[in-house]
Amino acid sequence: MRFGFVVCCVFVLFVFVGSVFMPCFGLSGEDASLVISAAEGKVVVCYEAVSAAQEAGANVSGLLSVLDEAGWFLSKAKLAYSQGDFDSAVAYANNCSLRLNGFLEQAESLKSDAERAGYWDFMVNFVASSVGAVFVIVGGFVAWVFLKKREEAKRRV
């Protein structure tokens, strides 16, 4: 009986100490701030990658929807941080970072595809048009020479 009483008292003591000092064992504001800053930096880098892909002519609507979702998680992380809920802030910031995994590779792929398509558009539009214009000029000159010789032959007869 005495052993049960001691175990019960120790259990109550642990519950009391845990409820009073448990917030000390959670994440600190500094930890949450670092995680949020890292997620924010990742969002900024991803926005720059999307901007570069868009300048190259890529269709970035799918990437923007992913960034929108990541921005929502980042916003929730900052709100939780401002309310002192550091555990939730870290969880939201981690969700933001997880949502952006593989994002830079996808943006770079779209950018390179758009640049390649732009190169071929240039080749078809500019080079092919230039070659076509040269053929028209040369063909016109040949036709003129042929018609001129034919006209001279008619005058001699």
- DSSP states along 107-132: HHHHHHHHHHHHHHHHIIIIIHHHHH
Do 81 and 28 touch, CB atoms closer than 8 A? no
Q: Which tokens sit at 56?
A: 């190259």
Q: How far is the C-alpha of 41 from the C-alpha of 97, rounded, in Å?
A: 10
Q: Which tokens sit at 33?
A: 């701030």
Q: What was the pLDDT predicted at 37?
A: 95
Q: What was the pLDDT predicted at 154?
A: 82
What are the C-alpha distances in Å from 119 to residues 38, 113, 124? 36, 10, 9
Q: What was the pLDDT predicted at 21?
A: 45
- For the chain, the structural domain boundaries read 2-156
pTM above threshold 0.75: no
Q: What was the pLDDT predicted at 77?
A: 96
pLDDT < 70 stretches in the chain: 1-27, 118-124
Q: What was the pLDDT predicted at 7?
A: 47
Q: What was the pLDDT predicted at 8?
A: 46
What are the C-alpha distances in Å from 16 to residues 8, 10, 20, 25, 28? 12, 10, 6, 15, 21
